[in-house]
Amino acid sequence: MIKITSTGKTIRLISNYKLSEPSSAFISVEVLSAEEMKNFYNILIGSNEIDEIRFYNKDEEKLFQWFKSMFKIVEAAGGIVRNPNNEYLFIFRNGKWDLPKGKIERDELIKEAAIREVEEECGISKLEIIKELPTTYHTYSIDDKAILKPTYWFEMSSSDGSKLVPQTEEGITDVQWIKNGDMKKVRENTYGSILDLIEEIK
């Protein structure tokens, strides 16, 4: 199952028709071609009565390829960083709590991009990757171009105890270390994909 956040809705691409979590308002559609995917997506994404769309095909990879064909792909990488005090690194950007991440540059390795973006956005160093985390996906538009952004995430550690410095030119107004038990403010004001990642660090 692949989960995508798109225009305020959750989209699930599933190979098993029954493999999905309950939702208060959703629709399930079997998709048999790229053209059907495009038609169904354009119709359903504009509905105010649907919170979740579940596209179904036994070949999940083919389903994902059909979905991706509707978008320009912009890849990003970032991290969930923990310090020796068992605190996690969060940024505050565009009025919401978020995790540091950014676009992967040409010819840059994914892990290198993840570390660089965390360093740049938070003013931190001494980062080490512990393990790979699930990739998240969301869509947005720039100049009427539809974008699908896969973000590759890594759990990281850092022993850097110096003052954090938000990258203000990227719209980041605050950077904080937050204990796992004190994440209520984050959970109440963040994105669905970030909530999913937070569950990975429990």
pLDDT digits (tens, 9 = 90+) for 29-81: 999 999 999 999 999 988 888 889 999 999 999 999 999 999 999 999 999 99
| Beta carbons of 167 and 184 less than 8 angstroms apart | no
**What global pTM score does this model have?**
0.90
pLDDT at position 180, please? 85
Q: Name the percent of the chain lying above pLDDT 70.
A: 95
Quick one: how many helices (H) and strands (E) in the chain?
5, 13
What is the Cα–Cα distance from 117 to 104, expressed in whole angstroms? 9
pLDDT at position 48, please? 84
Q: What is the CATH number of the domain that holds 121?
A: 3.90.79.10
On whether both 50 and 90 belong to a single domain, the answer is no
On whether both 61 and 132 belong to a single domain, the answer is no
- Would you say how long the chain is, in residues? 202
Domain boundary residue, one of 68, 98, 121: 68
CA 38 to chain centroid:
22
Domain boundary residue, one of 18, 41, 68: 68
**DSSP codes joined into one string, 71-107:** SEE--EEEEEEE-TTSEEEEEEETTEEE--EEEPPTT
On whether both 77 and 37 belong to a single domain, the answer is no
Encode pLDDT of 121-147 as tens digits.
999 999 999 999 999 999 999 888 999
pLDDT at position 142, please? 87
The residues near 58 (Cβ < 8 Å, ≥ 6 apart) are 15
On whether both 137 and 112 belong to a single domain, the answer is yes
Q: Name the percent of the chain lying above pLDDT 90.
A: 77
With a cut of 70, say whether residue 113 has pLDDT above it. Answer: yes
On whether both 91 and 77 belong to a single domain, the answer is yes
Domain limits at 23?
Answer: 2-68
Domain boundary residue, one of 14, 38, 68: 68
pLDDT at position 80, please? 96
On whether both 103 and 35 belong to a single domain, the answer is no
Say how many domains are in the chain: 2
The residues near 195 (Cβ < 8 Å, ≥ 6 apart) are 187
On whether both 81 and 158 belong to a single domain, the answer is yes
Two structure tokens written together for 37:
């995917």
pLDDT grade for 8, boundaries at 50, 70 and 90 = confident
On whether both 35 and 77 belong to a single domain, the answer is no
On whether both 53 and 81 belong to a single domain, the answer is no
